[in-house]
Structure 1
């Protein structure tokens, strides 16, 4: 075994040299705003005789550059990032081959207990000291340049992403505190890497393994919903994954209400923000499905946003919105609400507007599905709302599709005690 490890260190030196040579030839001019040199950091990690830990940290940074738009990493050329990925893969294979059959394991998983605490401390160093009366970001950055935390956050995210189920579940006590430290940082760049890490954790860890950190994690989600536009899609995806996983069997959990209300508050403040509404519409479906009939309590906030978004000028919003409306109708039958008539009105207007849209066929098919679902579950209430459009010459095709006898003429009481009212949407030819 010792000979094998000796061979690994010899192999490591061979892997390091071409990367270090390529790095030295890469032009680099540090931005004045960063206050640190990424190239110097990499060169110090790739010394003449690097350890497996330092080499891995360097590869994590180089590899992360391929998906980063931050000035600390964008100067790294693609070929150097690819070379680092290849070298680390080579080292991992050599490491695994050197271990006895019953001890084989992921190299990253073996390094995590040593690396994660170091990265967590680097991230924490430039965090805001909440006991400090000034409590300002620039004071924290003056103490320790935030660039170090940004690099550490990218390294942490890279290491977490290299470990999957079941290995990742065995180290939640290690990775979740570090991910929470990222979310608690004032820098959006650090927060974003923490969110991406949590997304990977939530999809590669068993739900029961997250329970110990349930409340503190969901509280962090709530606190970060106010994040900047550039990372709002990450906080949406992260929050939905975590709350539906941690509160999987409890649709009445207060965490669903807190997180959904926090999201809606920010959407109400910026209803015209295209990126925010698209991110929310794209990721919110699992929350709707999890709380089912309890969606009724949120109608007074959800439907005004829906009605406003039905007439925006981008097809992506419209298509996502119509899918979410179908879900709401399927889960709740929109019972005991004043929104049925208004919903029919807005859908009819959108049906006409769709004539000028590229996605008009998909939009009109979704509208037909929703109207038929409403016809089935709302009966006379729907007929009253639809009657004023029945003879509109611009809606002949729509009227023909709605002329057949509905499956249910009146709202059923049979699902009153359940979480959902099951109605499958129809496809209109």
Structure 2
């Protein structure tokens, strides 16, 4: 029976696993997830009901879905099975990972949502208030869809005097998101609308995708005009809904949010006039009382006496101020005279410190120069040693490497007569056939 050291046995197991299993695709649930920020490496365990598998993804923080990963999440990974010799354990070196059960669009939606939220685009402090009584409303939608018909019908029913300006734009398909963003920017350049409604009718995730594009979200965010997002049905949520100043579940609801009905406005105006009348009567009563108090006051009956009293008080305050300032000036002059010798001593001390620092700087530069030169020579020596130990240096002395099907041939027992092999030389490669074995 052959005897192994621990290292030898581990290397043998490593060779068997890596050569016979190689790359695999595995599905499981994440646990013990750790993301090391300085390196970007991801460490986690994949598990199912019966087993666990340690996984590592080097620089995994750069992958698209890294920010979505967390414990308990089901994922599908692709990578190479290997052995970590130091710990004597096998693990999966992951090269690609994706959430199981999520389509590409859903992943893209979550990534953009997380990115914009971290930038603050969804924060309430950026939400602009909607105008109370808009007279001119801009609409960005398809000119042929049901959305524009619903918006116009409800706006005219609730407030016939409102002016509606349609900027038609495609709401799905290639280039739709750029057209929607351009329409929002054009309304802001035009500047003569009080409110914008941006949206379309319902549809699938693919149909509504133009409103999930970053270019539309940023156009809504930079708009100086308040925006109501009205995309799809009640259950549909898009990135545009999160960025907009107000979300409407449907285009019809957006129209109802945008304007109050005539009856509601008439009631509000009546209440406003009533409150203004009461406030005005209270103000008139307060002013009448004030005038009556002034008529009875001493100031109006003996105005000159009041003025003479103020003159005497002013003269007294001027005299006190002159005396106080004179004393303060003399005190400051005395203190300055005492401080002059101290400043001269301090100036000499600073000059000595400056000369000492210059001397230390020169000495430090010399030491650093010697240190850098020593390290450069050491590195050059290491480089020469590495080149001497490298496989290509060995090949240059007349040796060769033989491979069969990509694997290194270490024994004649690993090949058969007639099989083809690749022979790697210091310069170039040869194709050969085994003619005889010994």
Q: Which has the higher helix share?
A: 1
Q: Which has the higher strand share?
A: 2
**Do the structures match in fold with TM over 0.5?**
no
Q: TM-score, normalised by structure 2?
A: 0.20
Scaled by the length of structure 1, the TM-score of the pair is 0.20
